[in-house]
């Protein structure tokens, strides 16, 4: 996935598509989702988090979910951030999968 470029303080919908290694859609209908964004992959704390209730799951059976990033979320200092989507399914056995890291670049908003 190419870097997603966001402007500081810009509210924007982020649509994520989750597929298996072979390219098949992952059914996210029964999954509990968590989007975590942090400054670097080695960080343990997230800069901001979006929990399951924040996601639009109307296309989850096709592996597609959307979440709104608020102006507060994107109001971070300029830089490249690492995002990860965690998907948890109730068991038995319980299963939690994490997406490959993807990158969000936050750029200064340009005003005229």
User: pLDDT tens across 8-52, in order?
Assistant: 999 999 999 999 889 999 999 999 999 999 999 899 999 999 999
The alpha helices in the chain, defined as continuous H runs, are 71-74
- 80 part of a folded domain: yes
Length of the chain: 112
- As a whole number of angstroms, the distance between CA 34 and CA 51 comes to 5
Instruction: Encode burial over 55-86: b for 16+ CB neighbours within 10 A, e otherwise.
Output: bebeebeebbbebebeeebbbbeeeebbbbbb
The domain of 37 spans: 4-107
Number of domains composing the chain: 1
- Tell me the CATH number at 15: 2.60.40.10
Largest CA distance in the chain: 56
Q: How confident is the model at residue 73 (pLDDT cuts 50, 70, 90)?
A: very high
């Amino acid at each position: 996935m190419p870097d997603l470029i966001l402007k500081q303080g810009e509210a924007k919908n982020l649509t994520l598509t989750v597929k298996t290694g072979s390219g098949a859609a992952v059914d996210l209908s029964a999954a509990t989702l968590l989007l975590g964004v942090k400054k670097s992959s080695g960080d343990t704390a997230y800069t901001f988090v979006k929990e399951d209730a924040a996601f639009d799951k109307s296309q989850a059976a096709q592996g597609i979910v959307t979440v709104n990033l608020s102006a507060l979320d994107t109001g971070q200092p300029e830089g490249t951030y690492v995002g990860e989507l965690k998907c948890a399914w109730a068991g038995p056995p319980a299963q939690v999968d994490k997406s490959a890291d993807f990158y969000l670049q936050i750029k200064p908003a340009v005003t005229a």
